[in-house]
Amino acid sequence: MLIGLAAIAAAALTAAGAAGVFIGAGIYNIGADVRHTKVVYWIITQLRDRSIAAHASAIRPPPDLMSQDRVAKGAGLYAEYCTGCHLSPDMDATPVSEGLYPTPPQFAGKLDHSATQEFWMIKHGVKLTAMPAWGRTQSDEQIWDLVSFVRTLPSLSPDQYDAMVKSAPKGSDAPAP
């Protein structure tokens, strides 16, 4: 029993030492122009998705989440703050979106997260992705408006998107007081 514990302790110390050398020597290329290894990408993806799900689990969306008013306000917010990275239905990649890794999701396609998870990500940002924490400058109401629009975006044609952005209420993109 004691020999088994000693072996486990020795293995743990060896692994910690190897990790220390690996990190300290800067061996892993953290540049955004080089893809992660499959193992590192899997670990980061699991960490991200499980963290978002856990932190968003207690959030409840407003009852009027998909109201036309919220969607209209969200259109202005999306056009102002999100298109540089997440693009619009008729946009080609931007220099910013092409340079980001991992590649930002394009919401004109399918959505991979629930409304509450989207709210949490927009409000708090996501480390190691360049997704900012918009909760520092936008109110919860504005963030829910944005979630409403993002959830509508996959069903919009480029012309519908343009019309919604043009008719968005003025001031819907003003920072929270």
pLDDT of residue 67: 97
User: CB burial class (10 A; 0-12, 13-18, 19+) of residue 133?
Assistant: middle
- The SS3 assignment for 126 reads strand
124 has a pLDDT exceeding 70:
yes
Single pTM value for the model: 0.84
* Highest mean pLDDT out of 22-26, 90-94, 138-142, 154-158: 138-142
What are the pLDDT digits (tens) for 15-48? 888 888 888 888 888 888 899 999 999 999 999 9
- % of the chain with per-residue pLDDT over 90: 61
Neighbours of 87 (CB within 10 A): 18
What are the pLDDT digits (tens) for 94-113? 898 899 988 888 887 777 89
- % of the chain with per-residue pLDDT over 70: 95
